[in-house]
Each structure stands twice: as C-alpha cells, then as structure tokens.
Structure 1
Amino acid sequence: MASIDLNSDVGESFGRWTLGDDNAMFQSVSSANVACGFHAGDPTVIRTTCQQAAEAGVVIGAHVGYRDLAGFGRRFLDIDPLELADDVVYQIGALQALAATAGTSVTYVKPHGGLYNAIVKHTAQAQAVVDAVKSVDPTLPILGLPGSEVLRLAEAAGLRAVTEAFADRAYNPDGTLVSRTLPGAVLHDPAEVAEHVLRMATEQSVRAIDGSILNIRAESICVHGDSPGAVAMATAVKSALSDAGVSIGTFV
C-alpha cells in the first residue's frame, strides 16, 4: 500500500487569542508543525499542543519563522544570516524543552511563512537555516519546497531534505506557491482540496493555476490548520486517500 505523510501547522494560538482546532486536525494528520513562539504560540500553547499531539500519536516538528508576531511571520525580513541562524536555534531549543515536558520530542524542522518562501531562492538565509539545524541536531530532517535552495543546501550539508507539497495552496507554473496576496492562492473547497492531494499522492503531479500539469514528488503534504474549514478539508483528504488505498504515515 502506498503511504504519504500529512502535516499541519498547529500551536498558532497566543494568550487569549485562539486559532484553529488542533485536536481535530490531529485526527487526520501524522505530523504536526508546532509554532515556536516567534510568529505564533506562547509557552503554554506550545506545551499543550505537544501534549495533545503525543496523545494522538502525531509526531512534532519545529515550525520556525521570522521574529514577527504582528505579521504572523508571513512577511519577508531582510535579517542578517547569523542573527537568523541564532533565531532558528533558539526556536528549536524552546520547542525541544517544552516537548520533553509533554513526553515527546522534536523530529524535524519546517520553516514557516515568509521564511519558507524566502529560502526557496534566498541562498544566504537558506544556508542560515541549514547551519542552525545542523548545529542543534544533524539528524533532524528539513521540510521544504522541491527544488528549493534550502533543500539543496541541506543535502550538501548531510541533512535529510524532505520535499513537501500543499493541499490547499495554488501553484505557479514554475512550481512555486501563488502569493497569498493574489486571488485563488488558497483553496477552500474540501472536494477540490481532496482531488488536489490525490493527484499529488498517486500521480506525483499537481495542476498549476494556469491549468498546466507539473511533476511534483512529495514525501509530505501540508493541510493548513488555520484556513477556514481546515478540519473539513483534512477529513476529506484523509477519506479520499483511504478510498484510493493510500495510507497516512509519518516520513520520520
């Protein structure tokens, strides 16, 4: 039976502000990208999220990003690479400690938002992320977009590079994600999202926003937990994969 990892961004609440239904998402995914406090999340949210993931049998990864709470980490920051590396080390370390208190551990790293998009092509920042991960734990895989600088540099540094696709995001013809500032960038219809994922998992391809078909080989597929109707989309994806004989399981 074919197998694919489903991951979701979780732990993105902050104080009295709640975002997403993480517990419900844990019923459909195998990996949880836990916000580390720089773009979202606070210590209590992080610990609670780790505990809930562990109870659901879901592995956790460090969802590291720019230090940008106000912008939810989705804006590009022209930050010095050394400072960025320190920020990434800090975030991984914080999550490792809080995960330990919940009886679990960090098993991979996935950059978030603006940082994720920047290191597709921004070599200096991509190298900073790779250097940070390697300095903390060289056994931690890094998730990224196929063909991205960060995955190229991760492999060059001896780290495991894990290719990722997105269930609820539209693609440009060059394989990059359509900017969230443009119409149609985020998919909302559960049936459309399920079809999108099924093509990725069974045909290793995706339909770009212009209708062209791109080859895309992904070890993990992200279903965003903060999108409207996220739980319904994740449930539809899980059901479609099951019907097609594709099991859901972590890549680690």
Structure 2
Amino acid sequence: MRGNSPLRGSRRSPCCGTASPSNSADVQRFIDLNCDLGEGAGQDEALMPLISSANIACGAHAGDLATMIETTELALHHRVGIGAHPGYFDLHDFGRRERDITPAEAGRLVLIQVEQLHEIAGTKLRHVKLHGALYNQVCRDAYLAEGVVADLARLWPNLIVYALAGSELAQLARARGLRVAHEVFADRTYQRDGTLTPRARPDALIHDEAAAVAQVLRLLREGVVRATDGTDVPLRADTICLHGDGPHAVAFARRLNRELEAAGVVIRPCTG
C-alpha cells in the first residue's frame, strides 16, 4: 500500500514510527523500506520499485562515479528517497573490517562521501546512512558518533541520519537537533541489549524468508524483536533495512511488500 506524493508513498505527516490502530489490532501504519544500492550486486533495477529509500554507495567500500549517477537516476525515476551510504575506503573487504580511527577522522570520512553524492543528487539528497564496520562502530561508540554528528549538524543539518534503533548515534544526532530514522534490520538477529548479532557468528543472519517477514510484522505490531537468547527487545522502527546483495533479495522484498500491504501498512520515505 503506497500513498501519493513526489516521493513514493510519502504523506507528509509525523515520522514513520507513529503507531495507530488497524482493524482490531494495533499496527504501525507507516514504514520506510531502505536498501543499500550501487554496490555492484546487479539487482538494483528490480529492487528499486520495492523500496522507499535508497542508500547509495559513494565509491569507498563499493561503487564509483558511474554507479552513483546511474543509481541516483534510477531512484529519481522511481521516486525513491536518496541517501548517501559512506563507508571505509576498503573495496577488498567491502568496508566490513573495523579500523582504529578518531572522531575527527570519522567525521571527515562521512563528509567527503556525502559531498560526492551531493554533487550528483543535489537537493534531492535526503539522508545519510553509514555502511558496514563504520556504521557499527559509530552506532556504539559515543565519541565517534559525536565526531560524525557534530560535522553533519554543522554542514548538513537538513539530512536525516539513519541509525541503529536506540544507538549512541541515534541519541547524539537527536541531541544535536538532527532528524533521526531509527533503523531495524529485517534479516539480522539481535542481542538482548538491542545491538546486532556480530556477523562472525553463525546466527547473525535470518536465512528463512518467512522468519524475517515475521520479525518485521511483529515489530510493527508489538514494537519488539526476539533476541537470540529469547528475550523480547523493545525497538523503535522508523525504517527497515533490506539487504540487496543476497540471491533472494528481490523475492524477499516482493514478499515483504505483499505482507505489509495485507497488514495495512503504507511504505513511504521516513521524515525523521
């Protein structure tokens, strides 16, 4: 189910995380579906109509000028919200290896890549979502998070910061006056403290499509996810991340779209 606006599904009312009743059960009425694109997975054209926000790789962990232009044009064609997806300059490890960096270095790393995408997208640039190891480090480390949000608040105060729900990054960005989209992952498992299960663990990913859909639907109905130890963890969800690099990414996105529509949930870009 989608609304009508220049951006797909967007009805400019409060942020996506507002819950309201649907039939006999409470269900969150709006949700943003975001996906990391421009990373060379070869499925961008099929995925773009199924999402509401695109996180576009800026040439560090993946992508180049040509893919940034192509992906931006594709997002504009489908009226999908455009975001910068900065990561470590690390093509070999796809930006998934953590580095020892300072808050100032983290801030500069993000700014450089936001600037690159802004040169292409201009005023259509709506949000920023960090990638991989940089995302994980900045979301959990208050010092790194402060370095990033200080620079964003100074130079890009209108961008929405996509951050792991309840993380240091989310809290500090909000404290700086930035708009925040609290993010939950459809196909990742969680620890009881609300953090993602490390990718090195065998239970980090939800491989069963039905289980991933069920995690999203329960989150929207009850505001919780089930941690790996069986604990119910309360999480705010303004946006749901769908991974675009798996062999079943398109099939899962289609199924989730169908299930959300059946539940009366409107897919639209988050307003933060």
Same topology, TM > 0.5: yes
Q: Aligned letter for 1:146?
A: A
1:107-134 superposed Cα distances (whole Å, 9 cap, x missing partner)? 0111111011112221221112112222
One of 87, 93, 105 as aligned partner of 1:71: 93
Cα displacement (A) at 1:168: 0.7
Q: Does 1:167 pair with 2:194?
A: no
Per the alignment, residue 245 of structure 1 pairs with 264
Cα displacement (A) at 1:154: 0.8
1:160-186 superposed Cα distances (whole Å, 9 cap, x missing partner)? 122110001011111111111111211
Per the alignment, residue 175 of structure 2 pairs with 156
Per the alignment, residue 226 of structure 1 pairs with 245
Give the conservation status (yes or no) of the 8 Å contact 1:164–1:218: yes
Structure 1 portions without partners, runs of 5+: 14-18
1:56-114 superposed Cα distances (whole Å, 9 cap, x missing partner)? 111111111122222111111111322221221110010011224xxx62101111110
Q: Does 1:12 pair with 2:34?
A: no
Per the alignment, residue 3 of structure 1 pairs with 30
**Which protein, 1 or 2, shows the higher relative CO under an 8 Å CA cutoff with sep ≥ 6?**
2
Q: Does 1:54 pair with 2:81?
A: no
Q: Aligned letter for 2:200?
A: T
Residue aligned with 2:30, SS: strand
Residue aligned with 2:207, SS: coil
Structure 2: how far apart are the matches of 1:244 and 1:107? 27
Per the alignment, residue 19 of structure 2 pairs with none
Q: Does 1:198 pair with 2:217?
A: yes
Residue aligned with 1:120, SS: helix
Cα displacement (A) at 1:202: 2.0
Deviates more, 1:202-211 or 1:50-59: 202-211
Structure 1: how far apart are the matches of 2:68 and 2:107? 21
Give the conservation status (yes or no) of the 8 Å contact 1:165–1:220: yes
Structure 2: how far apart are the matches of 1:64 and 1:236? 28
Structure 1: how far apart are the matches of 2:147 and 2:195? 21
Residue aligned with 2:255, SS: helix
Residue aligned with 2:139, SS: coil
Which 4+ residue blocks in structure 1 deviate beyond 2 angstroms? none
Give the conservation status (yes or no) of the 8 Å contact 1:170–1:208: yes
Give the conservation status (yes or no) of the 8 Å contact 2:61–2:90: yes
Q: Alignment length, in residue pairs?
A: 244
Residue aligned with 1:131, SS: helix
Give the conservation status (yes or no) of the 8 Å contact 1:189–1:233: no
Per the alignment, residue 39 of structure 1 pairs with 61
What root-mean-square deviation, in Å, do the aligned CA atoms of Structure 1 and Structure 2 show? 1.4
Structure 2: how far apart are the matches of 1:128 and 1:63? 17
Give the conservation status (yes or no) of the 8 Å contact 1:50–1:98: yes
Describe how 1:49-198 pairs up with structure 2 within 5 A. Answer: 49-100=71-122, 105-198=124-217
Structure 1: how far apart are the matches of 2:189 and 2:42? 21
Structure 1: how far apart are the matches of 2:208 and 2:50? 17
Change (3 A) 1:106 1:217: same
Give the conservation status (yes or no) of the 8 Å contact 2:32–2:51: yes
Structure 2 portions without partners, runs of 5+: 1-21, 23-28
Residue aligned with 1:53, SS: helix
Q: Aligned letter for 1:38?
A: A
Structure 1: how far apart are the matches of 2:151 and 2:63? 21
Give the conservation status (yes or no) of the 8 Å contact 2:166–2:235: no
